[in-house]
Amino acid sequence: MTDIFDELQWRGLVAQSTDEAALRQALSDGPVTLYCGFDPTAPSLHFGNLVQLVVLRLLQRAGHRVICLVGGSTGLIGDPRPTSERVLKTKETTADWVSRIQQQVQPFLDFEGENAAVLVNNLDWTAPISALDFLRDIGKHFRVNQMVRKDAVAARLESQEGISYTEFSYQILQALDFLQLYRDHGCTLQTGGADQWGNLTAGVDLVHRADGAAVHCFTTPLLTDAAGTKFGKSEGNAVWLSPEMTSPYAFYQYWVGVEDASVVKLLKVFTDRSRDEIELLARQVAEEPFRRTAQRALASDVTTLVHGATATAAVQAASEALFGKGDLARLDARTLADATAELPGAAVPVGTSVVDALVAVGLVDSRNAARRAIADGGASVNNVRIGDADQVLVEADFLGGAVAVLKRGRRNLAAARRP
């Protein structure tokens, strides 16, 4: 066992906790059985869920017993949002998303050996409970005056839309998870995001009221940039852990693009790097920020954690090749497609002149400007400089039969996509 709570605090992973002294003592005396829940609100986990998976990894490595819960029942209801009622998903869709997320979490934890993680679905114990038993055995332990104080519930009660009894009851269902896992597995700790504090403490209270036991919870902080904007959005879209929803290339580029003011904080949260390693990277940010050494280290570590070392190597090769430090033709078709999908561009048929192609993809605003760029040696196709303004794009220029990468200057890129 290690003093894991100190490490969690140093890494910026503790926002709130119940009795800190008692929690520290429990973790020190350990091993503690703990859990974190993931609701299937989408077919993939996202940036925010990754924070919780990192916490579970750290606690399991410190010798504690981890339970990963995917909410087959809570996902059918939905945690109330402060703004409006959720649209309920069908049972079939929810079951499919549960299965996807169960597969997605497995690479992050060790599910074999003496300290194997456990994967559970709360539908297994919620579905058999009758409405009468739920109200008599669970509902009786809750006080409505406490339930309405939850931030999201209070906000909805003050709105014109109000809140349905369905969503109002969500916190009871989540609290039931803690009680069930306490009884079945001796679970005494729950973790979650700071926005889940009300739900977590409801579980702590239920275990105490129903079984007279003292259990614990703590939350992780909301991660924001220097301007206070929540991390995990890329041009308005969520950063997903599924490669089908956020490609490994786009995922890697998101982390490379992190601002200097936040990169050290994110290195602490999302990587296994030691204090000495992170302090060195922090000095490099201060002294040579233009090298973006810390951002590249962060991107490499997190992409490897989520997508594996092979995918990381592929996207790094694509990044290098796009800017002339590698051979674009050697990229595999999937990585090439992902990398060029992020580029502006246009449909350009085989046989189009390079001059017209440069105009079509938006790298220049006229044919004369295209000819000047070529004459100045500032235009290339697939990193090969163009010396003849009359050159046309031939079939071999379309890598994988699909795309030719055009460049003007050192960093202005666009994709000529074969229609």
Q: Kindly state the tokens that stand for 266.
A: 């994110």
pLDDT category of residue 147 using cuts at 50, 70 and 90: confident
CATH number of 233-333: 1.10.240.10
Q: What is the pLDDT of residue 230?
A: 85
Residue 324, pLDDT > 80, answer no
Chain region(s) in the chain for CATH 3.10.290.10? 345-417
Chain region(s) in the chain for CATH 3.40.50.620? 4-220
Chain region(s) in the chain for CATH 1.10.240.10? 233-333
Overall average pLDDT of the 30-44 stretch: 95
Overall average pLDDT of the 223-233 stretch: 84
Q: Kindly state the tokens that stand for 419.
A: 């229609």
Write the pLDDT tens digit of every residue in 254-291: 999 999 999 999 999 999 999 999 999 999 999 999 99
Overall average pLDDT of the 144-154 stretch: 86
How far apart CA 138 and CA 147 sit, in angstroms, is 14
20 Cα distance to chain centroid? 28
pTM of the model: 0.90
Residue 192, pLDDT > 80, answer yes
Write the pLDDT tens digit of every residue in 45-54: 999 999 999 9
Whether residue 31 is preceded by a cis peptide bond, meaning omega within 30 degrees of 0, is yes
Write the pLDDT tens digit of every residue in 168-178: 999 999 999 99
Q: Count Cα atoms within 13 angstroms, Cβ side, for 1.
A: 13
Q: Which residues of 281-310 are buried (b: 16+ CB within 10 A; e: fewer)?
A: beeebeeeeeebbbbbbbbbbbbbbbbeee
Query: 345-417 falls under which CATH superfamily?
Result: RNA-binding S4 domain (3.10.290.10)
Overall average pLDDT of the 282-311 stretch: 96
Overall average pLDDT of the 397-413 stretch: 92
Q: What is the pLDDT of residue 68?
A: 98
Question: Following DSSP, what letter does each residue of 83-138 receive, concatenated?
Answer: SSPPPPPPHHHHHHHHHHHHHHHGGGS--SSTT--EEEETHHHHTT--HHHIIIII
Backbone angles phi, psi at 261, to 5 degrees: -65, -20
The residue with greater pLDDT, 263 or 79, is 263
Mention the CATH class of domain 4-220.
alpha beta
Overall average pLDDT of the 220-231 stretch: 88
Write the pLDDT tens digit of every residue in 338-347: 999 888 999 9
Q: What is the pLDDT of residue 205?
A: 96
How far apart CA 234 and CA 231 sit, in angstroms, is 9
Average pLDDT, whole number, for the chain?
Answer: 93
Distances in Å between the Cα of 180 and the Cα atoms of 131, 138, 314, 372 are 17, 11, 44, 72
Q: Which amino acid is it at 78?
A: G
pLDDT category of residue 1 using cuts at 50, 70 and 90: very low
How far apart CA 234 and CA 417 sit, in angstroms, is 24
| Element (DSSP H or E) covering residue 165 | helix 165-168
Residue 397, pLDDT > 80, answer yes
In this prediction, what percent of the chain has a pLDDT beyond 70? 99
Overall average pLDDT of the 316-330 stretch: 86
pLDDT category of residue 2 using cuts at 50, 70 and 90: low
